[in-house]
Amino acid sequence: TQLLEQSPQFLSIQEGENLTVYCNSSSVFSSLQWYRQEPGEGPVLLVTVVTGGEVKKLKRLTFQFGDARKDSSLHITAAQPGDTGLYLCAGVLNDSWGKLQFGAGTQVVVTP
């Protein structure tokens, strides 16, 4: 069983639409990271959130960390084909030497 549950597992939308990916857990994390992974490549770090309730924006991407630091969301506005990829959330538990607990990922496909 995954410590972090991501939903949905798969998301297919048209260019210009908005989408939200969720990352939920019953555990409290000291920090949470979002990555994007392309086929055959390693995960690329998008953002790190640390404080409960924190919101970070990266161009058309908005990341939110839940008040209790148990959940997070990624919202993409006006999606583009270049946003296609596997989005992974990963959290660090307290006193865990920084090892990342990964969700299973959300595959996002944006069609022109």
Partner 1 sequence: NAGVMQNPRHLVRRRGQEARLRCSPMKGHSHVYWYRQLPEEGLKFMVYLQKENSIDESGMPKERFSAEFPKEGPSILRIQQVVRGDSAAYFCASSTLPARLTTSYEQYFGPGTRLTVT
| Residues that bind partner 1 in the complex, under the rule CB under 8 A | 2, 30-31, 33, 35, 40-45, 48, 50, 88, 90, 92, 95-105
User: C-beta of 80: minimal distance to partner 1 in Å?
Assistant: 24
User: C-beta of 96: minimal distance to partner 1 in Å?
Assistant: 8
CA 48, distance to chain mean position in Å, is 10
User: C-beta of 92: minimal distance to partner 1 in Å?
Assistant: 5
Nearer to partner 1, 17 or 41 (CB): 41
Give the torsion sign (CA, 66, 69, 70, 76).
Answer: positive
Nearer to partner 1, 15 or 41 (CB): 41
Nearest to 60 by CA among 22, 19, 88: 19
The Cα–Cα gap between 35 and 44 comes to 5
User: C-beta of 100: minimal distance to partner 1 in Å?
Assistant: 6
Nearer to partner 1, 40 or 82 (CB): 40
